[in-house]
Structure 1
Amino acid sequence: MSFLPFVSIIVPIYNSETDLPALLDCLRAQTYPHFECLLVDNNSSDRTAELLKAAESERIRSLKQFQIQSSYAARNTGIQNATGEILAFTDADCRPDPDWLTHLVQPFIDPAVGLVAGEIKALSGRTLLEQYADRQATLSQKHTLNHPFCPYGQTANLAVRRAALPKVGLFRPYLTTGGDADICWRILRQTDWQLRFAESAIVRHRHRATLAELRSQWRRYGRSNRYLHELHGIALMREPNFAEYRYRALRWLLKELPIASLNLLRGKASWVDLISTPIGLLCLQARAQGQRQAQLSKAAYTIEPVSNSCLPNLIDSKFAKFE
């Protein structure tokens, strides 16, 4: 490996005292040699600030974004204080593999590449809901990279070349969901930068363990649909009507459930197979509810510009290292 640009890892943090120790261990274990970590506290009320202070080192810096309650505003704070040529994003509840950065950075050796999405896999889960989400590969980038409007990478595992930002600006700081698609689409549709998928750059993410958490996740997906419809004109998800819900529920009860139960007794199925359809219907209903109820605020249209203090670093060759 000879391509070694300096990388700034940026992580928004909110009430993450439980997740921080494991995240910090994963960041410190990175095999890539040239990087810094910017952990941005987004007005936490637990012990997050104390843990961040204790974690500070030559490589790890803690920052604050208390004015705007939004992970995208926190990411913008990280970007404005970053020194890396490449900006790598993940989240507090994620666990990057040790060679995550090594694989995530390599596609940037092509000077036409402005975005790289790594793969997101599940942390091992014990509940049926976690196993269901794992079976569906809910968090995989392969879904978002095949979006019918335009591909994008989720910020749980996304890298951006800083030189791609001055023309399109940073994240929309007042947006609460959908900001990863928005910034990727602005870069891909307004510039000539290209997107690559680094499947071997793996971040592991915890699935939702309770029904309330799962429904909240899918309502957020629905809100994202509505917001991106307003911002980019993408098609809204069509909500199935009552008759379609009833048909799928009856089909599960009268056909799928008896077959899955018999296969379970034979050892050819798992408990997840028994609940797959009703859980899927609940997720679909939650997503439709989120889309129907979402209202995009006027402030969410705001795009934060790249500050002048950051511009000199975009052309500073000292961050591009070849060894």
Structure 2
Amino acid sequence: MTTEPMVSVVIATYNMGQYLPDAVASVLAQSWKNLEVIVVDDGSTDDTSDQMERFSKDSRVRYFPTENRGQPRAKNRGLKEASGEFIAFCDADDLWDPKKLDVQMPHFKDPQVGVVYSEVTYIDQDGRAISKPQPYERHSGKVTNNLVIKNFVPFGSAVFRRECMEKNGCFDEELPMGIDWDLWLRYSVDWNFTYVKDVTYIYRIWPGQMSKNYRGRYDNAFRILNKFISNYPGAVPEKLKSRAWADMYVSRGMAVAGGERIFFEPLKNVLFGLRFDFFYWPAWRALAKLVTRRI
């Protein structure tokens, strides 16, 4: 009889038949044995259902084919079906390290810790390792002030308490992108986060991934930040709100500059960011890059 608490692992998938079996197998290969895998098929038109047949006799795996309704609804369906005391995710084209839960679960001995996340590594479409620098500094403890500036939590690396979901909600189904940042911001208000330096999540970068829609991503990021500040007015100090807006405009400007090689629209974004926080040095660094065309 295991004394390990149950971990429910949700895999929302859409046309990922080529990679999904490896993702499921990597979760089942955990040294932590008390787990279940909930696969929500968001209306796939490929061979996903056929691929899932290999797991039909494994009682730890449950497969839910649904109509195509988008990833927030698919993930929420998985959360609805989850029975575990703890919940985690794995994207259908990614992998877990076999020791992931053994490494992260002990940190929940602190009842104030709601989310434990880890470091990631990268592979290409054929499973070969890719060297890629980590873009953001990681943080532990009360992380709202850091998280409101950047989403530094790699989504698939995180494990969280069921109580977080019960107290602070599931994914916002009105958001097509950025749903994890929205979730972590809400959870950060009432829970501590713990960062584990171990690499426990393997992220696959391949040509068939969702397109890099940076304009859409930032449109949603503005919505998320505005929603969070409106719903939790006392969660961050006023000065930090200004810095968050400054960073948002600067980041959008630089994303557009890098993606489209244009000048005036990004310049307006960076200057607008400086109006929010004149002393935000990344804005000045971005301005220098724009002016010297080092994008």
Query: What is the identity, as a one-letter code, of the residue corresponding to 2:63?
Result: S
In 2, Cα distance between the equivalents of 1:167 and 1:250?
47
In 2, Cα distance between the equivalents of 1:170 and 1:83?
15
Unaligned 5+ segments in structure 2 are: 230-243, 255-261, 268-285
The CA deviation string for residues 199-228 of structure 1, in whole angstroms up to 9 with x for no partner, is 225111112459xx6961544542442232
Query: What is the identity, as a one-letter code, of the residue corresponding to 1:135?
Result: K
CA contact (8 A) 1:178 1:227 kept: no
Query: What is the identity, as a one-letter code, of the residue corresponding to 1:137?
Result: Q
Query: What is the identity, as a one-letter code, of the residue corresponding to 2:201?
Result: V
| TM-score between both structures, scaled by the size of structure 2 | 0.70
Corresponding residue of 1:289: none
Rate the CA distance shift 1:85–1:46 in 2: closer, same or farther, 3 A: same
Q: Does 1:136 align with 2:133?
A: yes
Q: How far has the Cα of 1:55 moved from its partner? A: 1.9
Corresponding residue of 1:84: 84
Corresponding residue of 2:249: 237
Aligned length: 242
Rate the CA distance shift 1:22–1:251 in 2: closer, same or farther, 3 A: same
Match of 2:202 among 201, 204, 216: 204
Corresponding residue of 1:42: 42
Corresponding residue of 1:222: 218
In 1, Cα distance between the equivalents of 2:292 and 2:150?
34
CA contact (8 A) 2:7 2:84 kept: yes
In 2, Cα distance between the equivalents of 1:169 and 1:246?
39
Rate the CA distance shift 1:136–1:217 in 2: closer, same or farther, 3 A: farther
Q: Does 1:62 align with 2:60?
A: no
Corresponding residue of 1:300: none
Query: What is the identity, as a one-letter code, of the residue corresponding to 1:75?
Result: K
Rate the CA distance shift 1:23–1:141 in 2: closer, same or farther, 3 A: farther
Corresponding residue of 1:177: 177
What's the C-alpha RMSD, in Å, of the aligned pairs?
3.3
Q: How far has the Cα of 1:159 moved from its partner? A: 1.1
Rate the CA distance shift 1:72–1:37 in 2: closer, same or farther, 3 A: same
In 2, Cα distance between the equivalents of 1:200 and 1:246?
36
Over the matched positions of the two proteins, sequence identity in percent amounts to 22
In 1, Cα distance between the equivalents of 2:65 and 2:125?
32
In 2, Cα distance between the equivalents of 1:168 and 1:122?
31
Corresponding residue of 1:98: 98
| TM-score between both structures, scaled by the size of structure 1 | 0.64
Aligned to 2:63, what secondary structure does the other structure show?
A: strand
Q: How far has the Cα of 1:86 moved from its partner? A: 0.3
In 2, Cα distance between the equivalents of 1:74 and 1:125?
24
Rate the CA distance shift 1:201–1:135 in 2: closer, same or farther, 3 A: closer
Query: What is the identity, as a one-letter code, of the residue corresponding to 2:263?
Result: F
Q: How far has the Cα of 1:178 moved from its partner? A: 1.2
CA contact (8 A) 1:225 1:237 kept: no
Corresponding residue of 2:257: none
In 2, Cα distance between the equivalents of 1:40 and 1:199?
30
In 2, Cα distance between the equivalents of 1:48 and 1:13?
9
Which segment drifts farther, 16-25 or 237-246?
Answer: 237-246
CA contact (8 A) 1:9 1:87 kept: yes
Aligned to 1:197, what secondary structure does the other structure show?
A: strand
